[in-house]
Structure 1
Amino acid sequence: MAVEEQRPDRVPPVEAPPLPGPAMLCQEWAGVVFLHWPVDPAEVTHLFPAGTRPDLIDGATYVGLVAFHAPSTRVLGVRVLGAFDEANVRLYSVDGQGRRGVVFLTMDSDALHGVLAARAVPRVPYTWADTSLRQTTVGPCAGAVRRRWPQRGAWGRWRLRVDAHPTDPTPLEHFLTARWGLHTSWAGATRWVRVAHEPWILHRAADTTYEGDLLTRAGVRLQRTPVASALWSPGAVAELTPSLLPVR
């Protein structure tokens, strides 16, 4: 397969490309909060799996804190998890074939059995935490995390006010949210997992505050503390299919 030319400022496609095969996992994401800060690519490159590098827009890359409620999770059509809350810290990646995705640094969930299963099989960095999300459809929205295992004690909390009207995303907002895959290390190699869902319905947020050490404990030092981008979405139903071939 020819290597796709990487143009640093090009944004991902508006809609997810079709999955290469049947969905292995289906998960509903509801009440999704996106908080983002710019970071120097050189300061986070070491956090990326082999064969990937920071994805850039306007010469910068970003770290995100993304939180949501997951009402259900199905694997091969079988429901394996009940409802849980999650907050993850993530970076934005691209590989040698030009495939854009996310790299999860931490994934805090209040479902212990799901955390144990995820850490044992696909090796994604789930941790068990007290995770609380409080929100209405629009208006005030808040969340908090305090990690229990492993790396006990990491914490964060945030508040924002969600605008009632959906917005047409800017190129930056699209870059940060339309990520149709993820890169992860598994079985001694970097793997690519395709993700597909309907395009996000996005609302901008104001009066946003964040405090805590979730980002620094994940290895990311912020250039500035105020949130650079704050968005909220009512959610989507996502389907995931992993690739068996390692990233080159």
Structure 2
Amino acid sequence: MKQVWRHLLFAHWPVHEADLLPYIPPGLKLQQWEGRPWISVSPFWVDPLRLRGIPPVPFTRRFLELNVRTYTEYHGKPGVLFLTLEASNPLAVIAARTLAHLPYHHAKMHAQFVDHSIQYRSTRHASDRQKMEFIGYYRPLSDSIFHAGPGTLTHWLTERYCLFTTDSKGHLYSGEIHHLPWPLQEAELEIKNNTLTKSLGLEHDREPSVLTFTERLDVLFWPIKKL
């Protein structure tokens, strides 16, 4: 599969190990940077999505997505583990949950450009009392693009080329990802509301510790494989 990610924000926070351990399946090890595990929140557009060898699937070519991920490894191989993936397209959600065992959820989402910033809203009611919501304004601070240097925290957070997931029976899977190094820009974010990470039981500062913007990234996905 090929996806093009557009107008992507990367917001990163250190969190408490105890908050993340319940999400780490057997066989994976939670990674830490200088003694702290991290999470990342990423709102963006998928435009387009294409499955190799078949025509574009109607109504799944373009949609909004927001994911929350953390950082793990399998026998020394680093990768990402998604805690949740919110998407505006219900067909894409069903396909990803069924074929890739990824924790996708259909959410009510809206994004628009407002005064040179992107206003992004994602809302999902997990229960009658629990609303998982992220509302924020973000934008790049300049046109200057940089690539994270090896050995830096930003490189550790962004340059990941494998995802891990589990099915309903607890079987562990991995999927290979390929793209060029992240073209990053300095960014700013104004958070209006964020109950998304709180609803996952994660405590962190209100403002992210690391923040970048990417205008476009072309990404290739290989089919997931059982480990």
Superposition TM-score, scaled by structure 1 size: 0.80
Q: Aligned match of 2:104 in 101, 126, 142?
A: 126
Distance 1:46 1:196, change over 3 A: same
Distance 1:168 1:122, change over 3 A: closer
Question: Contact (CA 8 Å) 1:160, 1:208: kept in 2 or not?
Answer: yes
1:88 aligned residue: 67
Matched, 1:232 2:208: no
- Measure, in 2, the Cα distance between the counterparts of 1:233 and 1:135: 15
Q: Give the share of equivalent positions with the same residue, in percent.
A: 24
Structure 2 stretches of 5 or more lacking a match?
A: none
How much is the aligned-residue C-alpha RMSD, in angstroms?
2.2
TM-aligned CA deviation for residue 243 of structure 1 = 4.7
Write the deviation string for residues 62-100 of structure 1: whole angstroms up to 9, x where unpaired: 11111111112222332232200000111111112x111
TM-aligned CA deviation for residue 220 of structure 1 = 1.9
Aligned length: 219
Question: Contact (CA 8 Å) 1:89, 1:218: kept in 2 or not?
Answer: no
TM-aligned CA deviation for residue 119 of structure 1 = 1.9
Question: Contact (CA 8 Å) 1:141, 1:162: kept in 2 or not?
Answer: no
Deviation above 4 Å: which 4+ runs of structure 1? Answer: 148-152
Q: Aligned match of 1:56 in 27, 32, 57?
A: 32
Question: Contact (CA 8 Å) 1:87, 1:131: kept in 2 or not?
Answer: no
Distance 1:130 1:58, change over 3 A: same
- Measure, in 1, the Cα distance between the counterparts of 2:44 and 2:217: 10
Q: Aligned match of 1:68 in 41, 44, 60?
A: 44
- Measure, in 2, the Cα distance between the counterparts of 1:124 and 1:240: 13
- Measure, in 1, the Cα distance between the counterparts of 2:120 and 2:223: 30
- Measure, in 2, the Cα distance between the counterparts of 1:172 and 1:221: 20
Structure 1 stretches of 5 or more lacking a match?
A: 1-24
Distance 1:207 1:183, change over 3 A: closer
Q: Aligned match of 1:163 in 135, 141, 152?
A: 141
Question: Contact (CA 8 Å) 1:35, 1:227: kept in 2 or not?
Answer: yes
Question: Contact (CA 8 Å) 1:85, 1:109: kept in 2 or not?
Answer: yes
Question: Contact (CA 8 Å) 2:69, 2:80: kept in 1 or not?
Answer: yes
Matched, 1:99 2:80: no
TM-aligned CA deviation for residue 45 of structure 1 = 1.7
What aligned pairs does 1:22-61 form with structure 2 within 5 A after superposition? 25-61=1-37
TM-aligned CA deviation for residue 199 of structure 1 = 1.1
What aligned pairs does 1:142-153 form with structure 2 within 5 A after superposition? 142-147=119-124, 153=131
1:179 aligned residue: 160
- Measure, in 1, the Cα distance between the counterparts of 2:127 and 2:212: 29
TM-aligned CA deviation for residue 150 of structure 1 = 7.6
**Secondary structure, aligned partner of 1:220:** coil
**Secondary structure, aligned partner of 1:89:** strand
Superposition TM-score, scaled by structure 2 size: 0.87
- Measure, in 1, the Cα distance between the counterparts of 2:106 and 2:162: 24
1:215 aligned residue: 197
1:141 aligned residue: 118
- Measure, in 2, the Cα distance between the counterparts of 1:237 and 1:84: 15
